[in-house]
Amino acid sequence: MKIVNPKKEKRKKKEDNEMKIVLLDIDTLGKVDLSILEKFGKLEKYNATCKEDTLRCVKETDIIITNKVVINKEIMQKCDNLKLICIAATGMNNVDLDFAKEKGVEVKNVAGYSTASVAQTTFTLLFSLLGSSAYYDTYVKSGKWSKSPIFTHLKREFFEIKDKTWGIIGLGNIGKSVADIAAAFGAKVVYYSTSGVNRNNEYQRKSLDDLLKTSDIISIHAPLNEKTDNLIGKQELSMMKKGAVILNMGRGGIVNEEDLAYAIDNFDIFAGLDVSKIEPMRADNPLLHVENIDNIIFSPHIAWASREARKTLVNMIAKNIENFIKEEQ
């Protein structure tokens, strides 16, 4: 006669009913506390997941958490237990939304978590360009200032934001935040609505051509879609003022990279980029090989990722899971 341990049997039943959650690309979130997600079930984490391994990782799961790993129709068709896909980002183009709806799988993204982080990084890149901070830092650390006969060194000019015209392309939450900060610095802010529906009354709306021709600083905070793909090419860049700065904080495909590289070397344009069309940026990207290398500064798609933003992101994912479970009960 088999003797059953009631406690062990109860624990096994609980484990059998436990929700299985798979996080597919934890490395894209950096060092962040994920313990809040463990209260919903068994959390399985992968540093990164290649296309060939995706199905194996998610086949038995109830909830998928993905930042950039693609979850397509072929994957979902073979996931009988799948109930929820949580995208650890605002963009949802890595999930087949139509098939998810057909299959009855709910998809939830997160929005608004990175507004302050992206706005701050926009100004970080701008200040580095306008202030020649890398040059002056190197000058001091090299010991040259210590040998200077005078108290200062003004080989490179730097510029103020005050009284400059700042053009915002895409006046959503992030664009509006950047606009407000720029205005606080004394800039005249104008904007171009990529959707065509924004009617903000606080700042002057302009056509794209007018914005490009009149702005000293241009920052892009728009999504990549059929209206913004290759929005800024050689013709648009040639309209910009000599010495103007363009900052792309949206998506790489919005600005033609080959044309921008040409403009940096031939039109005396400055650029700050947090994104590229293909990420990570390829070694043969023309922007890495411009002659006027001091006219461009990069960050590797980190604008969204301050410590505070990533913590908020995880909390929002947890809230999405919690709300889904409540709806299912």
The residues, any chain, with a CB within 8 Å of residue 128's CB and separated by 6 or more, are 134, 272, 297
Question: For residues 22 and 45, what is the distance between their CA atoms, to the nearest angstrom?
Answer: 6
Place of tokens 């994912």: 317
Q: Are 94 and 224 in contact (CB under 8 A)?
A: no
Q: Which two tokens stand for residue 137?
A: 């830092």
In single-letter form, the type of residue at position 89 comes to: A
How many other β-carbons are positioned within 10 Å of the β-carbon of residue 62?
Answer: 19
Name the amino acid, one letter, at 265: D
Going by C-alpha positions, the residue among 304, 293, 250, 288 that lies closest to residue 135 is: 293
Dihedrals φ, ψ of 133, to 5°? Answer: -65, -35
3-state secondary structure of 45: strand
Question: Greatest CA span in the chain, whole angstroms?
Answer: 97
Structure tokens at 23: 């996080």
Write out the DSSP string of 58-86. Answer: HTT-SEEEESS--B-HHHHHT-TT--EEE
**Burial (CB count <10 Å: 0-12, 13-18, 19+), residue 120:** middle
For tokens 């391994």, the residue is 53
Phi-psi domain of 132 (left: phi exceeds 0; alpha: psi -120 through 50; beta: other): left
Residue positions annotated with a catalytic role: 251, 279, 301
Phi/psi at 292 (5° precision): -85, 65
Characterise 82 by phi-psi region: left (phi > 0), alpha (psi -120 to 50), beta (else): beta
